[in-house]
């Protein structure tokens, strides 16, 4: 008894046509996947590293020596938390460590202990610290500082922040030398209590 076998338009059994189609599609998927795979680990690690750093799980050490100097803007009036007025102009001629941050910012918080230790070592050694908080709720800011016991000077902007210190994200740190030039700029969390960065500040303050 002869059985009927369904065939495609080219005369091949249907099951064979399906098998050829499946093999062809699989082959092309493997080729395309192979081309993309070599770039996936690099892109995935880049995204993962950015996320880890933004959350403050580890603090990268900045490399200040590779940056060109640009003129600083000293037109920045400030208020201390106890109501005293000061301007960045009053600190001209000193090495200035300027950090833009907020108490509600997790990456900012993660680098604060290192900055506090750096201040204890360098705060009275020719380096002026300006911890510029952009908090709108000053009571929460004071509460955070009291809880942590940080001693570095914290200021609030008394006017709009000059474009030289505007960034797309916080924390952001700037170092101004005695000649009034921004010689270091870093956006994002970092370890400023590293030997490399302390040597950088020491060299600037010794000029």
Domains of the chain, CATH where assigned: 59-205 (3.40.30.10)
Instruction: Render pLDDT for 37-51 as a digit per residue (tens, 0 to 9).
Output: 555 555 543 454 444
76 close to 145: Cβ distance less than 8 angstroms: no
Would you say residue 92 has pLDDT above 90? yes
Question: How are beta strands 95-101 and 77-80 bridged, if at all?
Answer: unpaired
Q: What is the mean pLDDT of residues 94-103?
A: 96
Band of pLDDT at residue 184, cut at 50, 70 and 90: very high
Band of pLDDT at residue 205, cut at 50, 70 and 90: confident
Question: How are beta strands 127-133 and 154-157 bridged, if at all?
Answer: parallel
Note the pLDDT of residue 3: 45
Of the ranges 41-55, 87-101, 150-164, which one carries the lowest mean pLDDT score? 41-55
Instruction: Render pLDDT for 126-150 as a digit per residue (tens, 0 to 9).
Output: 899 999 999 999 999 999 999 999 9
CB-count burial class (<10 Å; 0-12, 13-18, 19+) for 204: buried
Instruction: Render pLDDT for 56-80 as a digit per residue (tens, 0 to 9).
Output: 445 666 666 667 889 999 999 999 9
Bond before 171 cis per omega within 30 degrees: yes
- Whole-number Å distance between alpha carbons of 92 and 100: 18
Give the global pTM. 0.70
Note the pLDDT of residue 69: 85
Higher pLDDT, 29 or 128: 128
Q: Which of 179, 168, 161 is nearest to 98 (CA)?
A: 161
Provide φ and ψ at 187, rounded to 5°.
-100, 125
- Whole-number Å distance between alpha carbons of 112 and 150: 8
């Amino acid at each position: 008894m002869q059985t009927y076998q369904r065939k495609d338009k080219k005369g091949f059994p249907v099951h064979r046509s399906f098998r050829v189609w499946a093999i062809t599609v699989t082959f092309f998927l493997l080729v395309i996947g192979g081309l993309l795979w070599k770039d996936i680990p690099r892109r995935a690690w880049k995204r993962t590293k950015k996320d880890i750093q933004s959350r403050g799980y580890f603090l990268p050490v900045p490399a200040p020596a590779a940056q060109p100097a640009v003129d600083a803007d000293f037109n920045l009036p400030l208020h201390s938390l106890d109501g005293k007025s000061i301007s960045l102009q009053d600190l001209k001629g000193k090495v200035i460590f300027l950090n833009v941050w907020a108490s509600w910012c997790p990456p900012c918080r993660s680098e604060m202990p290192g900055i506090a230790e750096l201040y204890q070592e360098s705060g009275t050694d020719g380096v002026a610290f300006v911890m510029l908080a952009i908090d709108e709720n000053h009571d929460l800011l004071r509460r955070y500082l009291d809880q942590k016991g940080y001693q570095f000077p914290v200021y609030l902007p008394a006017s709009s922040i000059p474009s030289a210190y505007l960034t797309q994200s916080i924390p952001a740190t700037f170092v101004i030398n005695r000649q009034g030039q921004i010689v270091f700029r870093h956006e994002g969390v970092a370890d400023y209590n590293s030997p490399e960065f302390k040597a950088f500040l020491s060299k600037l303050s010794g000029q």
